Structure 1
Amino acid sequence: MSALTTEAAALWRARALCWVLTRREIAARYAGTALGIAWAYVQPLLTIAAYYLVFDVVFAMRLGDGAPTRAVGAYLIVGMLPWMAFCDALTRAMTSLIEAGGVLQKNALPPMLFPTRAVLASGVVYAPLLLLLVLAYAGQHHFSTALLALPVLLVLQWLLCSLWGAALAVLAAALRDTVQIVGFMLSIGIFLSPVLFPAQMFPTDWRWVLWLNPMTAWVSGYQAVLLQGAWPAWPVWLAAGVWLAVGALLLNVLLRRSRDQLIDWL
């Protein structure tokens, strides 16, 4: 893990610059708009409000027995918001090195600074919204001590996006098709997770397929905490640890093998 450790040390030394670049990226996304950075929060808030209005108010749809909650809209919001955060962080991190190619060719900056900046910018937007769900779902978790698991899940999700986003950024620099492949996988990945339906509704013999989606662990954890006021079960933590370990190993290999060619690829 020497390559990953070296990059992590370089990022720590450049942490002040990383934060400055993160703030600039967030501001640049909405430059020239009347609401400015408020758009970053308005769009996901309107999306989850639409889920509640359509599924819980208009159609009053309900899930069957065994689901963590009966209201469909309330169920969708808890899974959809972290999924949106995951997709946003991963896609922005994946293309960050390609977009920063000119800067890296002229400046001796740590390449991993740019995927990290993208993931941090996404976290600044979505982390407060996820924490806001604590108040929105107070009637279901009753401020259980299990809420202490929520910040842990958020930090681990940020780490997941950082590791896999950086790995995909290196792969995208070497092979531009990576962007198209991952984009397609994210578009269908939501159907192979408990975001749209409880895991109990998936065929028993094929339920293991859900765990091939990294967000299954996190979505299950958020649902347990916010909808049931319960600590995430041990398979959630085990699956999260496996995905983090695999991401770290993959990134370490990619960093080691691309050390001399990365800038040329850009």
Structure 2
Amino acid sequence: MFADLRALWQSRKLIWVLVRREVAARHAGTAAGVLWPYLQPLLSVAAYYLVFDVVFSMRLGAGAPTHAVGLFLVVGALPWMAFCDAVSRGMSSLIDAGGLLQKNALPPVLFTARAVLASAVIYGPLLLLLTIAYIPLHGFSLALVSLVPLLGLLLVLCLLLGYLLAILAAALRDTVQLVGFLLSVGIYLTPILFPLTMFPAQWRWVLWLNPMTAPVIGFQQLLLQGAWPPVAVWVALLAWIGVLAVALNILIARSRDQLVDWL
């Protein structure tokens, strides 16, 4: 894995070119142009707010970080969209680049990094915009500085998971269908649709098996209450990153000679 990290650093200028082309390809042929990748998630979260807070005026009970359902839902939904987009595109990155990798001795990690970073270019500004929009709820809190490491760790998590799944998908195409299903139902095992306090206490450990539980709780604490994310958030994030790094290191070592043949 360290060889791939060196390749990423040495090819950082190339990666930036690839990321720009990837972002451009996502809106090619659309009337809205470069705005379209940003409009899609913005319209989705705006619909959540309109339906739950404006139309139905739904409220959460005691123990929730906020009582407005729409405000609560948006804070978790946008990071979840970013995670799903980065992981799913990263997972398919090597399969999509199979023809190019068979003809050129390029590090495969470049293509996964391109897909994940392109998602970061789109969703990163949206998460910062969301942060600014939620400042009136708590005033400008000093805890907002923790947004930078939180976003950084989320990016690392997506890159590691996306690359690991990309190698597995190259070896076994069923991985794409299985992970697609898990991403579609994973939102129900993350405290996005409901506060963590509403989940039965004896089963809350199940939620921590989802790598997005910790980032979502961190965003909720930051944006809804202006509070520092609890220690459990950082510990869980670092634990997930550590486990994925070890698993990815083993997988890279065992698949390096066969990866291009699988593609």
**Shorter-chain TM-score tier:** over 0.9
- Aligned match of 1:205: 202
AA matched with 1:27: A
The secondary structure found in structure 2 opposite 1:137 is helix
How far apart are 1:141 and its partner, in Å?
A: 2.6
- Aligned match of 1:115: 112
- Aligned match of 2:16: 19
1:202 and 1:237 map into 2 onto residues whose CA distance is: 21
How far apart are 1:133 and its partner, in Å?
A: 1.4
How far apart are 1:132 and its partner, in Å?
A: 0.7
| Contact 1:30/1:39 (<8 A) preserved | yes
**Cα distance per residue 1:54-110 (max 9 Å; x no partner):** 000000000001100000000000000000000000000000000000000111111
TM-score for the superposition, normalised by structure 2: 0.99
AA matched with 1:220: I
Aligned positions, number: 263
| Contact 1:141/1:225 (<8 A) preserved | no
Aligned match of 2:227 in 211, 227, 230? 230
- Aligned match of 1:82: 79
- Aligned match of 2:140: 143
1:130 and 1:29 map into 2 onto residues whose CA distance is: 19
1:69 and 1:254 map into 2 onto residues whose CA distance is: 42
Find out whether 1:171 has 2:168 as its counterpart: yes
2:243 and 2:223 map into 1 onto residues whose CA distance is: 28
Aligned match of 1:65 in 62, 87, 90? 62
Q: Post-superposition, which runs of at least 4 consecutive aligned residues in structure 1 deviate over 3 A?
A: none
1:33 and 1:259 map into 2 onto residues whose CA distance is: 38
1:18 and 1:133 map into 2 onto residues whose CA distance is: 27
AA matched with 2:181: F
How far apart are 1:226 and its partner, in Å?
A: 0.5
Aligned match of 1:132 in 129, 149, 173? 129
| Contact 1:142/1:229 (<8 A) preserved | yes
Find out whether 1:52 has 2:45 as its counterpart: no
How far apart are 1:242 and its partner, in Å?
A: 0.5
2:138 and 2:11 map into 1 onto residues whose CA distance is: 40
Q: Could you tell which deviates more after superposition, 99-108 or 30-39?
A: 30-39
Q: How many percent identity over aligned positions?
A: 66
The secondary structure found in structure 1 opposite 2:33 is coil
**Cα distance per residue 1:136-156 (max 9 Å; x no partner):** 111223110110111111111
How far apart are 1:134 and its partner, in Å?
A: 1.9
How far apart are 1:11 and its partner, in Å?
A: 1.2
CA RMSD in angstroms, aligned pairs only:
0.6
1:136 and 1:259 map into 2 onto residues whose CA distance is: 45
AA matched with 1:164: L
